């Protein structure tokens, strides 16, 4: 028996090289003007805007402050903006990211009462290992990852710090990492992979099912009134 025959097989998907085209730092603005983008096919269902921006910044070698300036030029990049529909310009965001408006809209919690969200970043360690953060994880009424059934965490496993759920230069500059100590939120695996390849099919299905359940509950929660308007 060869010496390594008893070792567990490594997950080939987890060790693939990043698929994104990594561009030199000084070409980011030109390349964006030429149409460099992040394919919607590389995103998972329900991917949060923060997760999308991490991938977009890596794909285009964009520093955090430059990306914040592109999507919200009126705010200071180090102060940033809350990733909620009312706080960001969705049209501008779609144009910068070159993603369909429905994908961008779905990545953000709304302002309705049922859209209450945590103001600190919450994550599933296994999803973080696959480079995925869901808009579901920020909801106040979600406590488990639908794919891995793990409790959602807010604290860094290394320094115990929490980071605000916000888009600013330091958050964008630390993809899937703690903003305080820069340790990875997962178990040490590289996370800047195509999540489509790395997440198991049943995990994608579990997340999609949970998203559908949430959206159908919200539609049911909006009742038509006698005057033709809608009421929650």
Please give the Cα distance from 95 to 99 (Å, whole number).
7
Beta bridge partners, 47, equal: 134
CA 191, distance to chain mean position in Å, is 12
Q: Does 145 bind Zn ion (CB under 5 A)?
A: yes
Q: Which one, 120 or 159, has the nearer CB to Zn ion?
A: 159
Stretch that binds Zn ion, among 83-91, 116-124, 193-201, 214-222 (CB under 5 A): 116-124
Q: Count of CB atoms within 10 A of residue 91's CB?
A: 10
Where do the H-state alpha helices sit in the chain?
Answer: 28-34, 49-59, 64-71, 90-97, 101-106, 125-129, 169-172, 195-198, 201-221
Stretch near Zn ion under the rule CB under 5 A, chosen from 20-28, 52-60, 75-83, 159-167: 159-167
User: Is residue 180 part of the contact set for Zn ion (CB under 5 A)?
Assistant: yes
How far apart CA 44 and CA 113 sit, in angstroms, is 26
Residue 127's alpha-carbon distances to 144, 145, 160, 224, in angstroms, are: 12, 8, 19, 38
Smallest gap from residue 43 Cβ to Zn ion (A): 16
Q: Are 180 and 156 in contact (CB under 8 A)?
A: yes
- According to the binding rule CB under 5 A, does residue 129 interact with Zn ion? no
Pick the binder of Zn ion from 62, 127, 152, 199 (CB under 5 A): 127
User: Per-residue x/- marks for Zn ion, 183-212, CB under 5 A?
Assistant: x-----------------------------
Complex with Zn ion: residue 43 or 124, whichever CB lies closer: 124
Please tell me the count of residues contacting Zn ion according to CB under 5 A.
Answer: 14
Work out the angle at residue 214's Cα, subtended by the Cα atoms of residues 212 and 217, and round it to the nearest 5 degrees.
Answer: 105
Least distance from C-beta 209 to Zn ion, angstroms? 14
Phi-psi region of 175 (alpha: psi -120 to 50; beta: other; left: phi over 0): beta
**Residue choice 156, 171, 198, 199 for contact with Zn ion (CB under 5 A):** 156
Query: Among all chains, which residue has been given the structure tokens 């310009």?
Result: 89
Does residue 50 bind Zn ion (CB under 5 A)?
no
Minimum distance of Zn ion from residue 125's CB (angstroms): 8
- Segment interacting with Zn ion (CB under 5 A) among 69-77, 88-96, 107-115, 154-162: 154-162
Cβ 117 to Zn ion, closest distance in Å? 18
Q: Interface with Zn ion includes 126 (CB under 5 A)?
A: yes
Q: Which residues of this chain interact with Zn ion, rule CB under 5 A?
A: 124, 126-127, 145, 147-148, 156, 158-159, 161, 178, 180-181, 183
């Amino acid at each position: 028996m060869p010496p390594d025959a008893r070792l567990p097989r490594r997950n080939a998907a987890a060790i693939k090289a990043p698929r994104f085209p990594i561009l030199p730092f000084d070409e980011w603005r030109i390349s964006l003007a030429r149409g460099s983008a992040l394919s919607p096919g590389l995103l998972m269902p329900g991917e949060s805007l923060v997760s999308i921006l991490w991938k977009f910044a890596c794909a285009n070698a964009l520093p955090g402050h430059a990306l914040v300036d592109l999507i919200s030029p009126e705010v200071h990049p180090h102060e940033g903006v809350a990733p909620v529909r009312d706080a960001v310009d969705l049209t501008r965001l779609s144009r910068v990211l070159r993603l369909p408006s429905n994908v961008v809209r779905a990545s953000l919690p709304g302002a309705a009462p049922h859209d209450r969200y945590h103001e600190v970043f919450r994550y599933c360690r296994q999803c973080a290992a696959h480079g995925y953060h869901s808009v579901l994880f920020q909801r106040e009424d979600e406590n488990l990852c639908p794919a891995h059934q793990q409790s959602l965490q807010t604290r860094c496993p290394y320094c115990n710090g929490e980071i605000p759920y916000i888009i600013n230069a330091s958050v964008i500059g630390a993809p899937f990492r703690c903003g305080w100590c820069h340790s990875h939120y997962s178990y040490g695996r590289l996370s800047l992979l195509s999540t489509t390849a790395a997440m198991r099919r049943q995990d994608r299905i579990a997340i999609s099912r949970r998203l559908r359940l949430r959206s159908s509950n919200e539609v049911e929660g909006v009742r038509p009134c006698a005057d033709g308007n809608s009421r929650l």
